[in-house]
């Protein structure tokens, strides 16, 4: 693997290898075992959107692996003033060993990989958030002891999280059901990809407008903000449209008795999820957030190590 841009590009085996490495690195980190897998390597981190978890986990992860990271806010680099992706990719390839980029247009990430000569990691685009879903799969495995055969239900906006969940779940043989309102469904190509993968890994992809139907028998219930970064002007409209998609106690109770609740964070309590669910005993949101660190270390070690 040279890049991590979409989980759809990964084989099932590559995803399992990343998860196994993430769990090994986590265990070793707890045991105080130090690694220098990326000694002498530099990662540039381009952000054109805000971040807490992605920035901090990549930065700390790079440090823990013996390398260094550079935070490159688009406000401060020439990309933000109109320098092309082509020039940026070629120039940064002369200094760095890898770039993690968080931005709006997914095509910009593909272009960085096309024109640059170094590893590119997708730290979120409007379309996908693969690093988050790796951490999610790790968290599910740690809580449920397996992935294949489980059912994950996502309730809410068809966005970068649900699109990457479609890829990730079907690659590892998990059933996935998604409930979104009309007009706010997942990306069509991602759905198509997931359905094709599901045929090979013998799992199912169900899309509906009905949250109760989707959540039935789920082992994992996931939601995300109704207003992703860049959609702030649509906030009032979205709050109206998504009104009946809140994950509350009543909806969560329709999943399995031992179902866990997940959210990539940041969360907007009272909108996509109630306090009672997100702060309840079956919420694993902070394990999920922690696993960003371990999953990201696995990604960097896989795509950037010699």
- Buried residues in 105-121 as b, exposed as e (16+ CB within 10 A): ebebbbbbbeebebbbb
Using CB under 6 A as the binding rule, whether residue 53 contacts ligand CP is answered as: yes
Ranges within 233-292 binding ligand CP (CB under 6 A): 264-265
* Distance, CA of 29 to CA of 25 (rounded, Å): 6
Give the CB-nearest residue to ligand CP: 54
Using CB under 6 A as the binding rule, whether residue 223 contacts ligand NVA is answered as: no
**From the CB of 292, what's the least distance to ligand CP, in Å?**
7
Looking at the Cβ atoms of 51 and 93, the one nearer to ligand CP is 51
Our answer to whether residue 102 is catalytic in this structure is yes
In angstroms, what CA-CA distances link 285 with 2, 18, 213?
Answer: 30, 21, 24
- Buried residues in 274-289 as b, exposed as e (16+ CB within 10 A): beebbeeeebbbebbb
Using CB under 6 A as the binding rule, whether residue 264 contacts ligand NVA is answered as: yes
Binding characters for ligand CP, 59-98, by CB under 6 A (x = yes): ----------------------------------------
> Can you tell me which of 23, 229, 254, 305 binds ligand NVA, judged by CB under 6 A?
229
> Can you tell me which of 18, 25, 101, 161 binds ligand NVA, judged by CB under 6 A?
161
Sign of CA dihedral 150, 151, 156, 159: positive
Using CB under 6 A as the binding rule, whether residue 132 contacts ligand CP is answered as: yes
Q: Counting beta carbons within 10 angstroms of the beta carbon of residue 82, is it exposed (0 to 12), middle (13 to 18) or buried (19 or more)?
A: exposed
Cβ of 290: how many Cβ atoms within 10 Å?
17
Cβ of 11: how many Cβ atoms within 10 Å?
10
- Contacted by 305, from ligand CP, ligand NVA, none: CB < 5 to 8 Å by type: none
Positions that interact with ligand NVA (CB under 6 A): 124, 159-161, 224-225, 228-229, 264
List residues with catalytic annotation.
Answer: 102, 129, 132, 224, 264, 292
């Amino acid at each position: 693997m040279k890049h991590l841009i979409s989980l759809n590009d990964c084989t099932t085996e590559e995803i399992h290898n990343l998860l196994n490495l993430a769990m090994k690195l986590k265990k070793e980190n707890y045991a105080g075992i130090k690694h220098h897998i990326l000694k002498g390597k530099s990662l540039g981190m381009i952000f054109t959107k805000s971040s807490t978890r992605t920035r901090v986990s990549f930065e700390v992860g790079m440090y823990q692996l013996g390398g260094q990271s550079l935070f490159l806010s688009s406000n401060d680099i020439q990309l933000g003033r109109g320098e092309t992706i082509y020039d940026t990719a070629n120039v940064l390839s002369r200094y760095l060993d890898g770039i993690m980029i968080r931005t709006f247009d997914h095509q910009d990430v593909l272009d960085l990989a096309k024109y640059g000569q170094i590893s590119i990691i997708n730290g979120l685009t409007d379309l996908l958030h693969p690093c988050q879903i790796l951490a999610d799969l790790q968290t599910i495995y740690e809580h449920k002891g397996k992935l294949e055969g489980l059912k994950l239900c996502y309730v809410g906006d068809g966005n970068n999280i649900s699109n990457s969940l479609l890829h990730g779940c079907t690659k590892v043989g998990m059933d996935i059901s998604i409930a979104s309102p009309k007009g706010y469904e997942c990306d069509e190509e991602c759905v198509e990809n997931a359905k094709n993968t599901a045929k090979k890994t013998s799992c199912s992809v169900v899309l509906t407008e009905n949250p109760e139907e989707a959540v039935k028998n789920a082992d994992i219930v996931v939601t995300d903000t109704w207003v992703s970064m860049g959609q702030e002007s649509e906030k009032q409209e979205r709050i109206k449209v998504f009104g009946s998609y809140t994950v509350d106690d009543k909806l969560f109770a329709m999943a399995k008795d031992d179902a866990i609740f997940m959210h990539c964070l940041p969360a907007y309590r009272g909108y996509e999820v109630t306090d009672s669910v997100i702060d309840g005993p079956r919420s694993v949101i902070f394990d999920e957030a922690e696993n960003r660190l371990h999953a990201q270390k696995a990604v960097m070690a896989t795509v950037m190590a010699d």
